[in-house]
A and B are shown apart, each in its own frame.
Chain A
Amino acid sequence: MTDNEYRSMYNEDPYAAQTALFDEYLNFVCAIVYNKLRSCGSREDMEECVGDVFSAVFLHFDSKGSFSGDLKALIGTIASRTAVQKYRSIIRHSNTVYIADETGEIADDERLEEKTDRSIMQGTMLRLIKSLGEPDSDIILQKYYYNMNSNEIADKHSMSPATVRMRCSRALKKLKALLMAEGYDMKEGSI
Chain B
Amino acid sequence: MRKEAQSGETDMQTQILDEREKSILRKEQRCRGGGINCESASVSGAVSQRACVYCGARVVLNPITDAFHIVHGPIGCASYTWDIRGSLTSGSTLFRNAFSTDLQERDIIFGGAEKLAAAIDEVMQTYKPKLIFVYATCIVGVIGDDVDAVCRKAEEQYGNRVIPVKAPGFAGHKAEGYRMACNALLALLKPHAASTRRLGINILGDYNLAGEMWIIKNYMREIGVPVIGSFTGDACCETLLLAPQAFLNVVQCAGSMLYLAQRMEEQFGIPWIKASFFGIEDTTNAIMNIAELSGDKGARARAAAFTGRESSLAARDVERYKAHFAGKKAAIFVGGGFKAISLIRQFTEMGIETVIVGTQTGKADEYEVIAGLVNSDAVILDDANPAELEAFMKEKGADILVGGVKERPLAYKLGMAFCDHNHERKHPLAGYEGVRNFTKEINLSVNSPVWRYMYPAF
Q: Are A and B interaction partners? A: no
Give chain A's interface residues, CB within 8 Å of chain B: none
Give chain B's interface residues, CB within 8 Å of chain A: none
